[in-house]
Amino acid sequence: MQKKEKKQIGKEIITTSEVTKSFGRFQALKGITAKVYEQEVVVVLGPSGSGKSTFIRTLNRLEPHDSGTIIVDGVELNDDVKNLQYVRSNVGMVFQQFNLFPHLSVLRNITVGPQKVRGLKRGDAEDIAMELLNRVGIPEQASKFPSQLSGGQQQRLAIARALAMQPKIMLFDEPTSALDPEMIKEVLEVMTELAESGMTMICVTHEMGFAKEVADRFLFFDEGLIVEEGTPEHFFTNPQEERTKLFLSQIL
């Protein structure tokens, strides 16, 4: 816990207020008000169907929200395309199913964003890509295709792909849920390293060991609302709400 004392928590970088989202008649988010600060690692917990995935997907507008406001790095997310582009180029995302581009090589998966969006030259983009592949520990796979990689390697590649855009914030949507148990560790190691480097991260995850280690704050979702929030110590030693207690008793 020593490490967290030292960590500088900066100014607000994501502010949401009363965000709602419905799919047909089902209301997934019923008014989410939350703040995330620079360099903070926030872990989102909750039973399935509680709206936690939907919530982080509204943060880069993969799901447009119905009402309320979302402000990311001082820019409000709305129908304005310029705002959307600003937010998306500053928010990286890692998906449960990796969503790598199967027809592009590992290296090209990473360089496509920097080249097309940030306008880098091919050589520069490839240098960055190799650097990132080193960072996530799979530099020798550069010329292969995603399908030739193991699940853990694929997810690490997905993290490298998102980092290549030099985002200020990283969203993780259950990054280890589709992995075999023996591959979870290698992905969590990369994420831990990323957290320690000071990246602002919001993770939906069920990996409690990882969450306990790196999280600065927990948000507990249930039925489209934030039921409880607090530090990991608070959650593991002294949860207040019945639903939180029930959930923790089920997964611990």
Assess 239 for contact with another protein (CB under 8 A): no
Output 8 or 123, the one with its CB closest to another protein.
123
Assess 161 for contact with another protein (CB under 8 A): yes
Output 94 or 190, the one with its CB closest to another protein.
94
Q: What letter does residue 82 receive in the DSSP assignment? A: H
Per-residue binding letters, 66-95, with another protein (x by CB under 8 A)? -------------------x--xx-xxx-x
Pick the stretch among 26-34, 96-104, 174-182, 212-220 that binds another protein (CB under 8 A). Answer: 96-104
Amino acid at the residue 171: L
We find the least distance from the C-beta atom of residue 144 to another protein, in angstroms, to be: 9
Instruction: Measure the CA–CA gap between 19 and 15, rounded to whole angstroms.
Output: 10
Using CA atoms, how far residue 86 sits from 71, 168, 204, in Å, is 11, 11, 23
The count of other CB atoms within 10 Å of the CB of residue 81 is 8
Q: Minimal CA–CA distance to 229: which of 28, 55, 49, 1? A: 55
Which of residues 10, 64, 74, 102 is near another protein by CB under 8 A? 102
Amino acid at the residue 87: V
Instruction: Measure the CA–CA gap between 205 and 199, rounded to whole angstroms.
Output: 17
> Would you tell me which residues interact with another protein (CB under 8 A)?
60, 62, 85, 88-89, 91-93, 95, 97, 99-105, 112-113, 116-117, 145-147, 161-162, 165
